[in-house]
Amino acid sequence: MKDKALELTAFSTALKSHYALSEFEIRENLLTLTTDTTTYVDLSTYLKDQGFSRCLTVAVIDWIDQGEFEIYYVVHHLESNIYVKVATRIARSKPAITSLSTIWKSATMHEREMWELFGVNFVGNTMLKPLFLENWTEKPPLRKDFNWHTYVDKEYFKAREK
Amino acid sequence: MSRIFKAIKSVLGLAVSKPMTFSFPPDMPLTELYRGRQLYKPELCKGCKICANVCPNNAIQMLEREKSEENKTGLQPQIDFRKCCFCGLCVDNCPTGALSFTNFPILLTMKPETLNYTPEMLAVPPTLEHPEAPKIKNTVSWARSRSIWIVNYMTGCCFIEAVPWVASSFDMERFGLLAVGSPRHADALLVGGYVTPKTLKRIIRIYSLMPQPKWVIALGNCPMTGGTYWDSYNTIKDISKYIPVDIWIAGCPPRPEPIGVAVVHAIQAIQGGYLGKEEKTDTDAGKMEVSPYPLLGADANKTEFDMVFGSQHPASGNFNMALKLDGEIIVDAIPYPGYLHRGFEKLMEYRTWLQNIMLVPRICVLDGASYELAYSGVTEKLAGIQVPIRGQYLRVVQAELSRIQSHLMNLGFGGAATGFDTIERLIWGDRDQVLLLLEELTGARIYHIFNTIGGVRRDIQPDFQQKAEQLIHFLRERLQTYDNLLIHNKTFIDRTEGLGILSKETAIQNDVTGPNLRASGVDFDIRTATPYEAYQEVGINTVTATKGDAYHRFLCRRLEIEESLNIIEHALDQLPSGPVCETKTPEDKKITWRLKIPAGEAFHCIEAGRGELCFHAISTGENTPYRIKVRGPTFGTILVMFPKLLHGMKIADVPVTYWSLDQCPADHDR
Ligand code: SF4
Ligand code: SF4
Ligand code: SF4
């Protein structure tokens, strides 16, 4: 256990000295970093080179009150069992960010899901087309301002209520 | 040679052992603990409305009745069994004990409105009424009633309880029932649970292809009212708006017994000359346009052609793929998922932290316990709550039992995909014994809802350890039988060895996890890498193989069953004493169903039956999550890796490869 902890500390010190990170936290074996969008992309290449070969997810959080989307990815280093989560924020009005699909193959499908459910464009991802929904014409459903209540009423309950 | 002798010995052993099939009716292998229809005692109720407020499915409505000394508001609960999922929150939170559970599982009807139980109806203990036997009108009706063929389409999660009817435990063939692939040969359509718009279109098509007379049986609450997904943007709320339904079975999921009772009802009605409701489909009532399948553009001038594989296919679950073929060789494949998308991550934002425990196991019906565990874990991490050690041990027992039943299910599918129907029926029959033990532990077979924030909901019964030992003993013997009949069987080995080989590197890059990754020689299991709950103390040996082909993936699961049995044995042997659940947060607040969790975020991974399952939870200090991200174990394996793996294979290899990867469309669709 001690070796791993050491490695994690050394690794995180190296990270801190190289990159502009606004937030930095270590909890157990998870390293959480918050950064700007350029570093978000730069870090992905660096992490891949360091042996973070498994990309667990790319996901979005809708911070509607701040008018921002938080985009993050979580990667894992198998040999030393370290997880790194890198997060960044983009403006809600211009929801686009560079795709990680060339770095981690498995990121492609996660980005496709986020594109469908949050309407965030991942520039460079060639697979952005509907995944789960068919003929969806409304707002992307996982956005906070998608009003599921009126939608469900309108689509599914209207006949019963009238 | 010795292998053949062993196989023969196993078969003879089965021939002389006691029959595995439950008699029907009335032998119901029910435990006392099963959460069935509620019983209401009006004299205890004080009309506080807590039960109605806590219900995540809006199943309880308060009706006005006479005011009294005890009940000052005069309000009494009415429970709608078209909506209730038997989670038990109302019973747990009722301050007076006016609501309690009986273990009565049978709620079925031809008129769904009758499932709305008034306080007066709830106060009467339930009894089973057998339908009156009609006079046989003619031989045609009689013959029809004894050979109902059912379309094989696994629509939603209720389907899991139809599975025992295929297995040796409930054995539908004794009633003349048969599952068939082609709608044109079928008499009955079984709608197995929730229906998304994408699935609905396929159901309507299947229904219209069936010859007259035809009957429709709807399983579960979801087809009636949307059930647990009543507010989901992607599930149909009332399927009878689209096609006529003859029999409705309530429950979430209903146990296999009510399905049996429904069959008996159906047989009698058909014998009496009932020909089903008038054929009618309503395609205007919702969004009915079908998008074109994403075909891969085969070149017709060559020998190429396009094929859609699934979604109504026993070897696909409710999932499909577009294949481009050259003769019978697959040139290209892409996944076409979404038949089971219910928008969990959205639904969870509208339920309280505690209510969500009732929702999460439904993400993957094949291994719901792991989802409960992962979600409770992330919530506790976020709130800084420490689970008492006994509670942690019981969680391990539950999770391992769930892993065993999930792996058994998969071995059965492995048998089915390679043409060994016997082994499928045998293993699934044995799986029922595991479900019964789970019920003994948790109060439910499939969706246990055993966990709560801070621990587990109840301690074990005094005879639980003994029953568990019996099961462990039984399964250890049975594993030898599976070896003799399946794992060491030359035909099975020839069929699966060298098929769908995943190298270490490819598996890692494409985010393959769990037994599939370990079969490729990567020794990574979260239970040992980042131990959670009591795994560190119980200790486990990870199972790995090197070849990474279909055979070794099945083999890994077979060996993991054995390891899980050891874990359960250890855990029960050294089960510490003490409480099973923490009741206060570190801030000394009582943990209630409306608990507010401090702002922050947490990330928690566990080893589910199919691999690495992670929850990422974000709280803004409210009693509902701000966002929950679920990273399921099959997302990478099935949506990313599987289609690539198919290149160069024959069509007949698709089912084998598919089940060797142990898919769960419900997990990747969420
Ligand atoms: S058991 Fe659960 S779903 Fe059913 S009425 Fe009670 S709280 Fe509602
Ligand atoms: S049944 Fe229990 S929770 Fe419901 S109103 Fe009566 S006392 Fe209150
Ligand atoms: S949520 Fe319940 S009722 Fe709905 S499909 Fe699943 S088991 Fe059936």
Per-residue pLDDT reduced to its tens digit, B272-282: 777 777 777 76
Residue position matching structure tokens 């718009």: B197
Nearest to A135 among B236, B291, B616 (CB): B291
Distance B85 CA to ligand 1 centre (A): 6
Residues 6+ away with beta carbon under 8 Å from B23: none
Asked if residue B60 has its Cβ within 6 Å of ligand 2, the reply is no
Distance B51 CA to ligand 2 centre (A): 6
Helix (H) or strand (E) holding B520: none
- Round to whole Å and give the CA distance between B160 and B318: 13
Q: Which residue of B194, B234, B283, B504 to mutate against A (max A Cβ within 10 Å)?
A: B234
- Round to whole Å and give the CA distance between B526 and B544: 14
- Round to whole Å and give the CA distance between B632 and B365: 13
Q: Which residues of chain A make contact with B346, given a CB cutoff of 8 A? A: 141-142, 148
Predicted pLDDT at A159: 45
Residues 6+ away with beta carbon under 8 Å from B47: B62, B71, B72, B73, B74, B75, B76
Cα B24 to Cα B103, B172, B296: the distances in Å are 17, 11, 49
Cα dihedral across residues B642, B645, B648, B651: positive or negative: negative
Asked if omega into B26 is within 30° of 0 (cis), the reply is yes
Per-residue pLDDT of chain A (162 residues; tens, 9 = 90+): 334 444 777 777 777 777 777 777 778 888 888 888 888 888 888 888 888 888 889 999 988 888 889 999 999 988 888 888 888 888 888 888 888 888 888 888 899 999 988 888 888 888 888 888 877 778 888 888 887 777 776 666 654 443
Looking at residue B105, the DSSP 8-state letter turns out to be: -
Which residues of A sit within 8 Å Cβ distance of B? 28-30, 53-57, 59, 61-62, 74, 78, 81, 83, 85, 104-106, 108-110, 117, 129-135, 141-142, 146, 148-149, 151-152, 155-157, 159-160
Domain B344-669 has CATH 3.30.390.30: no
Domain A2-161 has CATH 3.30.2040.10: no
Structure tokens at B406: 């999930």
- Round to whole Å and give the CA distance between B431 and B445: 11
What phi, psi does A61 have (nearest 5°)? -120, 135
Neighbour-count burial for B473-486, b at 16+ CB within 10 Å, e otherwise = eebeebbebbbbbb
Task: Give the three-state DSSP class for B259.
Answer: helix
Residue B229 CA: nearest ligand 3 atom is 1
Predicted pLDDT at A1: 35
Predicted pLDDT at B407: 93
Is residue B450 within 8 A of residue B372, CB to CB? The reply is: yes
What would be the CATH architecture of the domain defined by B38-103?
Answer: 2-Layer Sandwich (3.30)
Nearest to B291 among A134, A156, A160 (CB): A134
Structure tokens at B627: 């966002």
Residue of B nearest to A75 (CA): B511
Quickly list DSSP for B35-92.
--SEEE-TTT-----HHHHH-TT--EEEEE----SS-SS-EEEEEETTT-----HHHH
- Round to whole Å and give the CA distance between B281 and B55: 34
Predicted pLDDT at B371: 92
- Helix B368-383 vs helix B389-417: angle between axes, to the nearest 10 degrees? 150
Predicted pLDDT at B298: 67
Residues of chain B within CATH 1.10.645.10 domain(s) are 344-669
Predicted pLDDT at B92: 87
CB-based burial label for B73 (10 Å; 0-12, 13-18, 19+):
middle
Residue numbers of chain B with a pLDDT score lower than 50: none
What phi, psi does A65 have (nearest 5°)? -65, -30
Asked if residue B88 has its Cβ within 6 Å of ligand 1, the reply is yes
Give the distance between the most distant pair of CA atoms in chain A.
67
Predicted pLDDT at B376: 92
Q: A86 pairs with which residues across the strands? A: A33, A73
Predicted pLDDT at B405: 92
Cα dihedral across residues A23, A25, A30, A31: positive or negative: positive
- Round to whole Å and give the CA distance between B408 and B561: 8
Residue of B nearest to A158 (CA): B285
Is residue A140 within 8 A of residue A119, CB to CB? The reply is: yes
Helix (H) or strand (E) holding B503: none
- Alpha-carbon distance B403 to nearest alpha carbon in chain A (angstroms): 22
Q: How many helices and strands (H and E) does chain A possess?
A: 5, 7
> How remote is the C-alpha of A142 from its chain's centroid?
14
A145 closest CA partner among A119, A123, A125: A119
pTM of this structure: 0.88
Predicted pLDDT at B292: 65
Q: How many helices and strands (H and E) does chain B possess?
A: 25, 19
Secondary structure of B451-501 in the HEC alphabet? EECCEECCCCCCCHHHHHHHHHHHHHHHHHHHHHHHHCCHHHHHHHCCCCC
Find the ligand nearest to B38 CA.
Answer: 1
pLDDT tens digits for B490-549? 888 888 888 888 888 888 888 888 899 898 888 888 888 888 888 888 878 888 888 888
Nearest CA to ligand 2 atom 2: B94
Residues of chain B within CATH 3.30.70.3270 domain(s) are 38-103
Task: For domain B139-271, give the CATH number.
Answer: 3.40.50.12280
Q: What is the mean pLDDT of chain B?
A: 84
Residues 6+ away with beta carbon under 8 Å from B576: B389, B390, B393
Predicted pLDDT at A3: 41
- Alpha-carbon distance B618 to nearest alpha carbon in chain A (angstroms): 9
Predicted pLDDT at A161: 42
- Round to whole Å and give the CA distance between B568 and B400: 7
Looking at residue B650, the DSSP 8-state letter turns out to be: B
Question: What's chain B's length in residues?
Answer: 670
